[in-house]
Amino acid sequence: MLTMMASSTTSGTMMYVIMLVLMFAFIYFIMIRPQKKREKKEAIMRKNIQIGDEIVTAGGIVGIVFSIKEDTVVLETGGDRSKIRIQKWAIAKNLTQHEND
DSSP states along 64-97: EEEEE-SSEEEEEETTTTEEEEEEGGGEEEE---
Residue 8 pLDDT exceeds 70: no
Q: Are residues 37 and 74 in the same domain?
A: no
Radius of gyration of the chain (CA): 25
Residues 71 and 59 in one domain: yes
* Residue 14 domain boundaries: 1-48
Cβ within 8 Å of residue 98, ≥6 positions away? 48, 50
Q: Are residues 40 and 54 in the same domain?
A: no
Q: What is the mean pLDDT of the chain?
A: 89
Do 36 and 5 lie in one domain? The reply is: yes
Query: Does residue 101 fall inside a structural domain?
Result: no
Weakest-pLDDT range from 1-5, 79-83, 87-91: 1-5
Q: What is the number of domains present in the chain?
A: 2
What local confidence, expressed as pLDDT, does residue 10 receive? 82
Q: What is the pLDDT of residues 40-88, one digit of tens each?
A: 999 999 999 999 999 999 999 999 999 999 999 999 998 898 999 999 9
Query: Percent of the chain at pLDDT above 90?
Result: 75
pTM comes to 0.69
